[in-house]
Amino acid sequence: MTNFNNIPDRRKTLSIKWTLYDLDILPMWLADMDFPAPKVILNALHRHVDHGVLGYEIPERAYYEVVSRRMDELYGWKVDPDWIIYTPGVNNGYNIAARVLCSSRKGYVIQTPVYNEFHDAEKKVGIPKRVAPLAMLAKVDRIRYEVDYDALKKAVRGAGMFLLCHPHNPVGKIFSRAELMMMAKICIENKVTIVSDEIHAEILLDGAKFKPLASLSKEIAENTITLISASKACNVPGLSAAFAIVPNAELRKKYFASALGMSYEVSSLGLTASRVAFSGKADPWLKELRRYLTANRDFLVDYVTKYMPGVRTTLPDATFLGWLDFTQTNIHGSPFDFFKEKAKVALSNGKLFGKEGEGYLRINFGTSRAILKEGLVRMRKAMEHA
């Protein structure tokens, strides 16, 4: 049994999350968890380091077969190992796709509020961004999001790529089969390739089920680049390794050429960690993690509902991220500044996820219950004195 209550002190490391702000500020922002990676992964990394040579490495066919088997075992998705291309991270993966699919006239579409880095492809790649905001539905103190198909239809017209976040960061939504089918139909009709960022696919809460978009049909697979990584679920994002699954041969050729053009290497330790994760050896740990994260999610939602009047929250299906709406509270101005100054807690500023995120904050509950509680208590007290 893993004791997720027991977490190491990360202030003594170069952790971005734990060192960006002053020591008195409790960080609940950046999307990495505070838990050590699973023992089986750490043991494999120890063996790799003990070998002593840390040279350039690339996956061989047997490696890709491990990834392919995982897609089949988890989702019944038959992935030809030849479709898989390594990439030094998911962000890298969709920026490469954007170079292939978009241009200064042909933009990309995102569903806001969405992961802040999705917005940055505009500057990093030099392509126009189009937004198809999700529709927010509120019921008392709970919020959830649905696809606005009209907005999506309008945004994809003339675009080169639809960058889908599935499961969705920050709203924690797993899109249903019907939603995925409809979004894929709209994109296929408009000849827009979908890049499906599925980095959070294995962080499933409360028994939620996940299906990769490309697994739904051959036609959809041919029109989709899927980006996967073990980094979020096994908490090894610092090792920079991910995979693009590109069933369409022509697109794969272009994608690979573009990737090679960017001095294309991947971390050898990242490859070692991912191999263990995709082989399923970390699954018992993952099961425990999901149970702990589900309990953290429930603790968060209960606490906010009971003690933070006016705050509305999502009930995420996946991810270790909560999304809190402060627009109906007595906090004036930016809730990010308010809590940083008055509660000494740093969450992720909602406006970084798009203008629909103004007045919202994202909270990372991938930490010990004690730290989560400490952050929430600080926030509650600050609200009581607002």
Ligand X SMILES: Cc1ncc(COP(=O)(O)O)c(C=O)c1O
- 53's CB contacts (< 8 A; 6+ apart) are none
Contact yes or no for 37/235 (Cβ under 8 A): yes
Contact yes or no for 94/227 (Cβ under 8 A): yes
**Which of the stretches 11-19, 90-98, 126-134, 301-309 binds ligand X when contact is defined by CB under 6 A?**
90-98
Of 68, 91, 193, 272, the one binding ligand X (CB under 6 A) is 91
CB 94, min distance to ligand X, A:
8
Of 4, 29, 63, 115, the one binding ligand X (CB under 6 A) is 115
**Which of the stretches 89-97, 205-213, 309-317, 330-338 binds ligand X when contact is defined by CB under 6 A?**
89-97
Contact yes or no for 111/165 (Cβ under 8 A): yes
Q: Which residue, 83 or 353, has its beta carbon nearer to ligand X? A: 353
CB 277, min distance to ligand X, A:
13
Q: Taking CB under 6 A as the rule, does residue 89 contact ligand X? A: yes
Q: Taking CB under 6 A as the rule, does residue 102 contact ligand X? A: no
d(CA 77, CA 98): 25
CB 89, min distance to ligand X, A:
3
d(CA 100, CA 86): 16
Q: Scanning the structure block, which residue is given the tokens 């429930």? A: 298
Hey, what are 136's tokens? 């927010």
Q: Which residues pair with 325 in a beta bridge?
A: 312, 360
Hey, what are 55's tokens? 């040279």
> Scanning residues 146 to 165, which ones bind ligand X (CB under 6 A)?
165
Q: Regarding beta strands 84-87 and 129-131, do their DSSP bridges make them parallel or antiparallel, or are they unpaired? A: unpaired
**Which of the stretches 38-46, 59-67, 229-237, 350-358 binds ligand X when contact is defined by CB under 6 A?**
229-237
> Scanning residues 190 to 219, which ones bind ligand X (CB under 6 A)?
197, 199
Using CB under 6 A, list all residues that contact ligand X: 31, 89-92, 115, 165, 169, 197, 199, 229, 231, 237, 242
